[in-house]
């Protein structure tokens, strides 16, 4: 009999033994060491044990009777301390055991991030039954709370289990969306929503600073100062192969113990299997490849030929009711195409990645019923060219089910009782009735049936019913959708972002049924603006959704250089500022210095790499960004007013400065320019600005909606007020109203043309509405009234303005 | 292939781009997902716009000057527009960006 | 193991019957009456209008109803039930969207020996509170449950509510700290299954069945995922969770599951539910797993889709 020693009684080695006893009973005399004081159990099912949906007894794979039956000498709770390869013995506290063949199945260790306090009692990993028991114990105290660090598979399963057991649970995840290695943003968003629906708090982009407590865990503190009270901290941030024993024995190791396709290490009598293995540069954490390895290793030990191959993997999150599936490869590779399917009403999202007429990746959320079929297509490399158009609908639609391919035919095939509008419970029959009764447009249908009058996501469907029922008589409405990614108009999107409280880009894409994974250059800047205008505290501005000028805080010129223009409040400057500007112009070789139409000084021709440095220099002289590049407040142009001018009626310069200090930094649908003239002679040309104030003896005349671009228009009177304070209040409220209701890229005059000046006047005349607008503007400004130059001149952000690498220099070295 | 480490992948924001200077001019390295990167010529053949400054969406980039849209995978202009940009092999390994330098080194050695 | 299981001398549920709409009345589709022949005969003669008797009331109110005393109530078969020793009943209406598919009625006999729980939880003010429940002899547990409420995601009822799927829980009293664990352990409750009960008016109800070892509701529970069953494709369901006193765990060990057990429409008892969308009761043991004589299978609808099938066996 071959003396076989196995170190580690996990799922991989357990499967090896099953194969051996099955195929060659009696051929091996097995000694099985395990550091844990028990035999093999189904470790991947610890999550349901934690949640109470399984019992430990159910997940035991091999019980004492099984080991006895196969004559396995069990050395459980006994850690192997060394391997002597020359004498072919392993050493443990119990002495030495000789082997003919040795299997290393030492698995992995949880990775613990060494935050301050990581070693406090109450900080657990999530790896074995002891950890699970500790978590169950902690959940026993009524009202106890838990913090889970790590929003991957394990962390989320832990969170769901602890919640089911009655704990208050917070998940901290360091990147922007959950399970970022397996899921794309939209699926991550849906998962977050699902977990929040279970009463679990999820904080993404969270940076843990420390774990604190007096003698045991009491709270977790984040970098931003957030403090979370916590009776237990579960750290589920990853695993590291346990290679120590193999390394100490002098086996070849990389990131783990290296094996060949027969699972043999660099020592021909020592094999390795499972999570401690590195094969062809790859590590293994999911169970399917471990079982493949076990099969190969058993064959190798029995002298048969077999070879391990790395295969595509798939994952399902083991949280009951959470339908999530991810498989295959989303990274690298050329010639890829995405097919995206969203059903916002049912919370369904599917994305297929196709390359070369073959399915290479799939993410599914909300409906994973076809996941096995898709995974089969990925594994087999099936040619899907023939079914490409209907692939996303799954196997049921292949081979003849033509309805799915043609949406109109699909709508025509719907029975009259099929529900079209979920919000108002309107079925197709009711809509057809309305059409028969004379309704001929979407707005008719809305008025008569209420269909599509609430959330609006069924608008397309209602239009299709109109088209199918009326045939050629139906004229599709002229409303312009935002772009090719959606059928919704800007107005629809703005309304839905507010009414449905959509607070992130993935939320918009999913809930409003975007047809692309993450929008395009047309919709992204608009959505980014709508989100930051409506949810300033919840949504963080996304520089990657901005045009180059706003992202780089400078205007790109036709030769690829930039212009730099600091703010000069109300058009007032000082000798010191002018000196600093002159110095900067010389230092950075600025070819052109120009006085602008808005009474500012512009430095043109600055190289991108120099931007942070020139900003830093101007910051040092007390100057900040002039936002000459934004859809936001540009300049407030003034005349000298009553301070110097013999005709001046009020302090127009002073009011201009005050307005600029209130409004600067705010983002608006399009650029906003102001002018304040000290008397009706209007030297500041205020009457062709977006907002123009003309001072008169009795106070201030505020006009809006002027323009002096391709369209030239005079402002229309909005209000006349007696004091500066009132003037500032009206202007602030006006800008906020514009921010809240205008379509992106509509200048104020265009917006006023759509909503009507009377409506704007009514809104601002209502003291309560006006106060609300000003409040919301100030809340937004608490985030955005700051100098972007100062932010970007910091060394780690400044680096982003430089090339990533210079291969010319490296080649020279 | 001659894989050159050009930096950490996290140096590029997701749906952002950075440039690498080479003998052939600037190469734009795009990051379309956490571990998904592409490299192309930085220059739009239309009017020379810097593609690295464009908005990145899906696996495409829109030129900041005149909204030409290019596939980062094929380099081909999308829609009715014509034009092709050079693409270069690039990959992510253990959080590092590796660019195939053989395309640039060849001329250097000559 | 024996092929024939010890006859369950005492079970918590003694009668299970399925009533289906026939025009404007509910008629008996099938029942498991054990040896209560007289009650069976009385039931076969009966039918109910909407709002009439217990099944009719469940139909009219669109929610599960617990009835703990028959005397003086709207219960129509009081005399026959009394003679059979039945004292309590629970009616569970099965709705597909707003359409009533069937009403499942279970009847229990009250005595000091029978323990178990059939509970109806209803969402009010953002938490689930006990609407009503039948507990047999588990009086203390009944009291605890009346004074417990479950937020989303917490405990068996809260978990079912948040997940929108049936959930099967093990070892209610021992290794596992069921939110009402201490009392559950004392009452001998071991296995719990929770079912989402969509109501036609949109209210949230959760039904829980808690089984005790001595007087079990069932010795085998199964949860089938049926959402793959879509019009146009062969209707299929896969077994996602289950526990059996004879066979042990019934779930697939790998993740994602490798070749899980499936059922096809009209094939076998689960297939009957998939095909008809109605609850199913079987009493002759034919086609059931070895050692079981009877089973009840209940469809769980989500809107207009059949989402799950839950089955329990004795």
pLDDT of A80-92, one tens digit each? 999 999 999 999 9
- Domain shared by C179 and C209, yes or no: yes
| ipTM of this predicted structure | 0.87
Q: Would you state the pLDDT for residue A408?
A: 65
Mutate to test the interface with A, among B5, B7, B49, B58 (most CBs of A within 10 A): B58
Give the C-alpha separation, A310 to C28, whole Å.
Answer: 57
- The band of C5, judged by pLDDT with boundaries at 50, 70 and 90, is very low
Of A236-240, A443-447, A718-722, least confident by mean pLDDT is A443-447
Q: Please list the residues that pair with C103 across neighbouring strands.
A: C19, C93
- Domain shared by C90 and C161, yes or no: no
pLDDT for residue A506 is more than 80:
yes
Cross-chain CB nearest to A804 (options B18, B57, B74): B18
Kindly state the average pLDDT of the residues A568-577.
Answer: 94
pLDDT for residue A601 is more than 60:
yes
Q: Would you state the pLDDT for residue C92?
A: 94
Output DSSP code: residue C88.
Answer: E
Burial (CB < 10 A; 0-12, 13-18, 19+), residue A767, is exposed
Q: How many structural domains compose chain B? A: 1
Contact between C179 and A165 using a beta-carbon 8 Å cutoff: yes
Task: For C19-36, write each residue's pLDDT tens digit.
Answer: 999 989 999 999 999 889
- Domain shared by C158 and C63, yes or no: no
Of A476-490, A592-606, C144-158, C300-314, least confident by mean pLDDT is A476-490
Q: Residue B13 belongs to a domain with what CATH number?
A: 2.102.10.10
pLDDT for residue A454 is more than 90:
no
Burial (CB < 10 A; 0-12, 13-18, 19+), residue B98, is buried
Q: Does any domain span residue B109?
A: no
Percentage of residues of chain A with pLDDT beyond 90: 59
Range(s) of the domain holding residue C246: 218-314
Percentage of residues of chain C with pLDDT beyond 90: 42
Percentage of residues of chain B with pLDDT beyond 70: 95
Q: Would you state the pLDDT for residue B48?
A: 86
Kindly report the average pLDDT of chain C as a whole number: 85
Q: Does any domain span residue B110?
A: no
Kindly state the average pLDDT of the residues A679-700.
Answer: 94
Secondary structure percentages of chain A, helix, strand, coil, to 5: 40, 20, 40
Residue whose C-alpha is closest to residue B79's, from B89, B88, B70, B87: B70
Contact between C155 and A164 using a beta-carbon 8 Å cutoff: yes
A149 within 8 A of A113, measured Cβ to Cβ: yes
State the number of CA atoms in the 13 A half-sphere of A621 facing the CB.
Answer: 22
A62 within 8 A of A20, measured Cβ to Cβ: no
Which residues on chain B are in Cβ contact (under 8 Å) with A547? 55, 64
Q: How many structural domains compose chain C? A: 3
For C62, the 3-state DSSP assignment is coil
Q: Would you state the pLDDT for residue A477?
A: 58
pLDDT for residue C83 is more than 80:
yes
Give the C-alpha separation, A679 to A645, whole Å.
Answer: 10
Q: Check: pTM over 0.80? Answer yes or no.
A: no
Of A313-317, A605-609, B31-35, least confident by mean pLDDT is A313-317
- Domain shared by C1 and C100, yes or no: yes
Task: For A371-430, write each residue's pLDDT tens digit.
Answer: 878 888 888 888 888 888 778 877 766 654 444 445 566 677 666 776 677 656 678 888
- Per-residue burial over A656-678, b if 16 or more Cβ lie within 10 Å, else e, is bbbbbebbbbbbbbbbbbbbbbb
- C268 CB neighbour count, 10 Å cutoff: 14
- The band of C95, judged by pLDDT with boundaries at 50, 70 and 90, is very high
pLDDT for residue C115 is more than 50:
yes
Write phi, then psi, for A742 (nearest 5 degrees).
-85, 155
Q: Å from A385 to nearest chain B CA?
A: 19
A50 within 8 A of A39, measured Cβ to Cβ: no
Which residues on chain B are in Cβ contact (under 8 Å) with A544? 13-16, 55-56
Give the C-alpha separation, C279 to C277, whole Å.
Answer: 7
- The band of C213, judged by pLDDT with boundaries at 50, 70 and 90, is confident
Kindly state the average pLDDT of the residues A762-787.
Answer: 94
pLDDT for residue C177 is more than 80:
no
Burial (CB < 10 A; 0-12, 13-18, 19+), residue B20, is buried
- Domain shared by C196 and C124, yes or no: yes
Mutate to test the interface with A, among B33, B54, B68, B81 (most CBs of A within 10 A): B33
Burial (CB < 10 A; 0-12, 13-18, 19+), residue C254, is middle
Kindly state the average pLDDT of the residues A468-485.
Answer: 76
pLDDT for residue C289 is more than 70:
yes
Q: Would you state the pLDDT for residue A398?
A: 66
Q: Does any domain span residue B108?
A: no
Contact between A197 and C175 using a beta-carbon 8 Å cutoff: no
Residue whose C-alpha is closest to residue C191's, from C170, C207, C174, C208: C170
pLDDT for residue A332 is more than 60:
no
- Domain shared by C19 and C101, yes or no: yes
Q: Would you state the pLDDT for residue C34?
A: 87
Q: What domains are there in chain A, each with its CATH number?
A: 2-109+241-301 (3.50.50.60), 123-237 (3.50.50.60), 490-546 (no CATH), 631-786 (3.30.413.10)
- Domain shared by C2 and C100, yes or no: yes
Task: For A694-727, write each residue's pLDDT tens digit.
Answer: 999 999 999 999 998 878 899 999 999 999 999 9
A52 close contact with C: CB closer than 8 A: yes
Q: Chain A neighbours among B 31-90 (CB < 8 Å)?
A: 33-37, 48, 50, 53-60, 62, 64-65, 67, 69, 73-74, 87
- The band of A456, judged by pLDDT with boundaries at 50, 70 and 90, is low
Q: Would you state the pLDDT for residue C19?
A: 94
Task: For A512-552, write each residue's pLDDT tens digit.
Answer: 989 888 999 999 999 999 999 999 999 999 999 999 999 99
Percentage of residues of chain A with pLDDT beyond 70: 94
Comparing A253 with A812, which gets the higher pLDDT?
Answer: A253
Give the C-alpha separation, A113 to A159, whole Å.
Answer: 19
Q: Residue C94 belongs to a domain with what CATH number?
A: 3.30.450.40
Which residues on chain B are in Cβ contact (under 8 Å) with A805? 4, 6-7, 20-21, 99
Kindly state the average pLDDT of the residues C70-91.
Answer: 89
Q: Would you state the pLDDT for residue C176?
A: 43
Kindly report the average pLDDT of chain B as a whole number: 87
Kindly report the average pLDDT of chain A as a whole number: 89
Q: Does any domain span residue B72?
A: yes
What's the Cα-to-Cα distance from C200 to each of B69, C61, C89, C94, rounded to whole Å? 50, 9, 22, 10
Comparing A148 with C108, which gets the higher pLDDT?
Answer: A148
Among all chains, which residue has been given the structure tokens 């707005």? Answer: A443
Q: Would you state the pLDDT for residue A426?
A: 77
Using CB atoms, list chains with 3+ pairs below 8 Å to chain C. A
């Amino acid at each position: 009999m071959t003396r076989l020693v196995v170190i580690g009684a996990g799922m991989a080695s357990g499967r090896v033994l099953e194969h051996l006893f099955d195929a060659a009973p009696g051929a091996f005399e097995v000694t099985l060491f395990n550091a844990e004081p028990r035999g093999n159990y189904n470790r991947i099912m610890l999550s349901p044990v934690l949640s109470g949906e399984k019992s430990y007894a159910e997940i035991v794979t091999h019980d004492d009777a099984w080991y006895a039956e196969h004559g396995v000498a069990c050395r459980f709770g006994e850690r192997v301390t060394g391997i002597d390869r020359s004498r072919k013995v392993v050493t443990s506290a119990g002495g030495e055991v000789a082997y003919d063949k040795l299997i290393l199945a030492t698995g992995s260790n949880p990775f613990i991030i060494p935050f301050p306090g990581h070693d406090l009692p109450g900080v657990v990993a999530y790896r074995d039954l002891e950890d699970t028991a500790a978590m169950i114990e902690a959940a026993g105290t009524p009202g106890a709370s838990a913090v889970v660090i790590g929003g991957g598979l394990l962390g989320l399963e832990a969170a769901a289990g602890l919640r089911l057991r009655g704990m208050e649970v917070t998940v901290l995840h360091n990147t922007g969306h959950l399970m970022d290695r397996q899921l794309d943003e939209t699926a991550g968003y849906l998962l977050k929503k699902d977990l929040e629906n279970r009463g679990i708090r999820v904080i993404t982009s969270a940076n843990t600073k420390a774990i604190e407590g007096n003698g045991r865990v009491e709270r977790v503190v984040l970098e931003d100062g957030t403090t979370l009270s916590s009776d237990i901290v579960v750290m589920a941030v990853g695993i590291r192969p346990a290679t120590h024993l193999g390394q100490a024995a002098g086996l070849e190791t990389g990131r783990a113990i290296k094996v060949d396709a027969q699972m043999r290490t660099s020592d021909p009598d020592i094999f390795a299997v499972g999570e401690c293995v590195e094969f062809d540069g790859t590590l293994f954490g999911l169970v399917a490849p471990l079982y493949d390895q076990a099969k190969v290793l058993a064959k190798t030990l029995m002298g048969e030929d077999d070879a391990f191959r790395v295969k595509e993997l798939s994952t399902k999150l083991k949280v009951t009711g959470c339908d999530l599936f991810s498989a295959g490869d989303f990274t690298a590779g050329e010639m890829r195409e995405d097919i995206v399917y969203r059903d916002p009403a049912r919370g369904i999202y599917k994305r297929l990645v196709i390359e070369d007429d073959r399915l290479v990746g799939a993410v599914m959320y909300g409906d994973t019923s076809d996941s096995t079929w898709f995974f089969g297509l990925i594994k087999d490399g099936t040619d899907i060219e023939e079914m490409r158009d209907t692939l996303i609908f799954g196997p049921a639609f292949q081979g003849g089910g033509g309805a799915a391919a043609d949406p109109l035919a699909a709508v025509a095939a719907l029975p009259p009782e099929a529900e079209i509008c979920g919000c108002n419970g309107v079925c197709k029959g009711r809509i057809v009735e309305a059409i028969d009764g004379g309704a001929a447009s979407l707005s008719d249908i809305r008025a008569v049936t209420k269909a599509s009058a609430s959330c609006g996501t069924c608008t397309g469907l209602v239009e299709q019913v109109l088209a199918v029922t009326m045939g050629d008589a139906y004229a599709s409405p002229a409303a312009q959708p935002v772009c090719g990614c959606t059928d919704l108009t800007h107005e629809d999107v703005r309304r839905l972002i507010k009414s449905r409280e959509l607070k992130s880009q993935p939320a918009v894409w999913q809930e409003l049924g975007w047809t692309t994974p993450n929008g395009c250059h047309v919709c992204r800047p608009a959505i980014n603006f709508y989100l930051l205008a409506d949810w300033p505290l919840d949504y963080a501005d996304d520089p990657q959704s901005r045009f180059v000028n706003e992202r780089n805080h400078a205007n790109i010129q036709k030769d690829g250089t930039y212009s730099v223009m600091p703010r000069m409040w109300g058009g007032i400057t000082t000798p010191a500022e002018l000196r600093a500007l002159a110095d900067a112009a010389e230092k950075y070789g600025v070819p052109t210095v120009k006085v602008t139409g808005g009474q500012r000084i512009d430095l043109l021709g600055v190289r991108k790499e120099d931007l942070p440095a020139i900003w830093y220099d101007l910051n040092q002289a007390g100057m900040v960004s002039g936002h000459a590049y934004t859809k936001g407040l540009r300049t407030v142009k003034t005349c000298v007013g009553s301070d110097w001018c013999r005709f001046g009626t009020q302090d127009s310069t002073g009011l201009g400065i005050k307005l600029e200090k209130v409004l600067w930094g705010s983002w608006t649908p399009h650029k906003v320019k102001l002018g304040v003239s000290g008397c009706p002679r209007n030297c500041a040309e205020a009457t062709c600005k977006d907002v123009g104030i003309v001072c008169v003896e009795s106070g201030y005349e505020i006009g809006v909606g002027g323009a002096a671009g391709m369209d030239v228009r005079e402002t229309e009177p909005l209000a006349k007020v007696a004091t500066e304070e009132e003037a500032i209040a009206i202007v602030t409220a006006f800008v906020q109203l514009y921010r809240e209701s205008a379509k992106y890229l509509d200048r104020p005059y265009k917006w006023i043309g759509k909503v009507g000046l009377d409506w704007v006047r009514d809104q601002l005349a209502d003291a309560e509405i006006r106060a609300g607008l000003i409040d919301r503007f100030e809340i937004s400004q608490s985030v955005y009234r700051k100098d972007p130059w100062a932010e970007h001149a910091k060394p780690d952000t400044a680096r982003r303005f430089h090339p990533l690498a210079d291969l010319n220099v490296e080649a020279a070295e | 292939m001659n894989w050159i480490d050009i930096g950490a992948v996290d140096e590029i924001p997701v749906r952002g781009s950075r440039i690498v200077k080479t003998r052939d001019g600037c190469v734009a390295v795009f990051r379309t997902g956490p571990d998904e990167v592409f490299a192309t010529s930085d220059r739009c053949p239309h009017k020379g716009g810097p593609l690295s400054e464009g908005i990145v969406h899906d696996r495409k980039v829109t030129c900041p000057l005149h909204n030409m849209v290019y596939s980062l995978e094929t380099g081909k202009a999308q829609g009715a527009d014509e034009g092709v940009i050079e693409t270069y092999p690039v990959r992510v390994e253990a959080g590092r960006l590796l660019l195939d330098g053989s395309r640039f080194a060849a001329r250097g050695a000559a | 193991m024996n092929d024939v299981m010890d006859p369950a001398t005492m079970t918590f549920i003694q009668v299970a019957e399925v009533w289906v709409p026939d025009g404007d009345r509910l008629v008996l589709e099938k029942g498991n009456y054990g040896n209560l022949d007289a009650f069976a005969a009385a039931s076969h003669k009966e039918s109910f209008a909407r709002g009439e008797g217990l099944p009719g009331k469940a139909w009219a109110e669109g929610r599960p109803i617990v009835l703990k005393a028959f005397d003086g109530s709207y219960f129509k078969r009081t005399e026959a039930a009394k003679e059979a020793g039945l004292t309590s009943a629970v009616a569970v209406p099965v709705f597909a969207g707003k359409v009533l598919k069937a009403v499942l009625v279970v009847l229990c006999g009250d005595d000091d020996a029978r323990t178990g729980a059939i509970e109806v939880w209803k969402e009010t003010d953002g938490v689930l509170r006990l609407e009503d429940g039948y507990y047999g002899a588990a009086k203390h547990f009944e009291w605890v449950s009346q004074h417990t409420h479950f937020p989303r995601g917490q405990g068996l009822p809260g978990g079912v509510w948040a997940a929108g799927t049936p959930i099967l829980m093990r070892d209610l009293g021992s290794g596992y700290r069921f939110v009402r664990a201490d009392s559950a352990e004392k009452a001998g409750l071991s296995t719990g299954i929770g079912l989402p009960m969509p109501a036609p008016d949109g209210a949230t109800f959760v039904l829980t069945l808690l089984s005790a070892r001595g007087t079990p509701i069932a010795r085998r529970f199964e949860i089938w995922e049926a959402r793959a069953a879509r019009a146009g494709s062969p209707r299929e369901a896969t077994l996602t969770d289950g526990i059996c006193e004879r066979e042990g765990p019934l779930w697939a060990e790998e993740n994602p599951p490798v070749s899980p057990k499936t059922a096809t429409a009209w094939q076998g008892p689960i297939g009957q539910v998939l095909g008809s969308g109605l609850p199913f009761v079987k009493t002759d043991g034919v086609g059931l797993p070895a050692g079981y004589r009877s089973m009840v299978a209940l469809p769980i609808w989500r809107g207009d889709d059949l989402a799950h099938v839950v089955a329990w066996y004795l």
